[in-house]
Amino acid sequence: MRRVLAALVLSLASAWPVHAKPVRILFVGNALLEDAEVPARFASLARAMGKEAEVQSRIVRWASLEDHWRDGETRAAIAKGWDYVVLQQGPSAREEERADLAAQAKRFTAEIAKTGAKTALFMAWPQEPERRRDIPAAIAAYRAAAEASGALLIPAAEAWLRVLAQTKPGRSSFSPRGAASDLAVLTSWFVLFPAGPQEFTEDYVERASRELGIDPARRDAWFDAATRAIDEPMPLGARRIP
C-alpha cells in the first residue's frame, strides 16, 4: 500500500498550489452529505491535521443539482467565493440521471469558475442494499460528468466498492454513516488536501485514522481503498459486485 500512497502524494502534491491562507470549501448536496456528516467531519479532520480550512455547506435533503441551480440561496452561497465547491447529488446510475448529472456539472463548473474556484464532484453511491449492483453505473456517471465538465473527482463510491468487495458487509453497511462516512471523508481529504512526500508519514496516517475513528485493524485497507480509487481507477467491466 505504501508504494501506491507515495506515488499518489507525489503526483497530487505537484498538481495543487500551496495555500498561504485558509482553504475555503463549500459543500453543496443533499441527505447523503448531511447523514454522513461529511462537511463537519472534514472540518474536524483539517483541524486535527493542522490545516487552515473554512468549511461551509449548503444542504437540501432531497435536492438534485438542478434543484440547487434553481435555488437562489445556493447560487448566492457559491458567489461568495471559495477555493473549492464540492457538488453532490444522488448516485445518478440511470441513463436519464447520468445525462442530467453531466449537464448540471457543466453548468455549475462554468458558474463556479467565474468566482475563481475549482469544482469537485463528490461521487455518491446507492444507499439501498438492493441497489448495490448500481454502484458501477454510479461510478461511471460521475467519472463521465467530471471529464465532461473539467471538474475534480472525489471517488467516494469507488472507495466504498473496493471495501465492499473485500469485506462483504451486511445490509446496514450501505448507510452513509459509519464506515462509508469514514471513507467519504478520507477520500475527500486526499483530493482536496493532498500531502507532500515529506508530510505523508506514519504519524500523518495515524493522526488521520485517530480523528476519523478508523479501526486500527482496518486502517491500511481503508487508506488503500481511498488512495487507489483516486490513483488507480478500477476497470468497471471486470469488477465483481459482492
Q: Which residue has the higher pLDDT, 169 or 90?
A: 90
Q: Which three cell numbers stand for residue 117?
A: 474556484
pTM above 0.85, yes or no: yes
**Inter-residue contact 191 to 152 (CB < 8 Å):** yes
- The mean pLDDT value of the chain amounts to 86
4 alpha-carbon distance from chain centroid: 19
pLDDT at 95: 87
* Mean pLDDT calculated for residue range 116-122: 98
- Ranking 89-98, 105-114, 140-149, 151-160 by mean pLDDT, the lowest is 89-98
69 has a pLDDT exceeding 60:
yes
* Mean pLDDT calculated for residue range 161-175: 65
* CB-based burial label for 76 (10 Å; 0-12, 13-18, 19+): exposed
16 has a pLDDT exceeding 50:
no
Q: Which residue has the higher pLDDT, 132 or 161?
A: 161
- Split at pLDDT 50, 70, 90, the class of 12 is very low
Q: Which residue has the higher pLDDT, 165 or 152?
A: 152
Give the β-pairing of 152-154 and 84-87: unpaired
pLDDT at 189: 97
Strand stretches in 60-132, DSSP E: 84-87, 118-122
166 has a pLDDT exceeding 90:
no
**Structural domains for the chain:** 2-232 (3.40.50.1110)
**Residue 203 phi, psi dihedral angles, 5° rounding:** -65, -40
pLDDT, tens digit (0-9, with 9 covering 90-100), for 179-202: 888 999 999 999 999 987 788 899
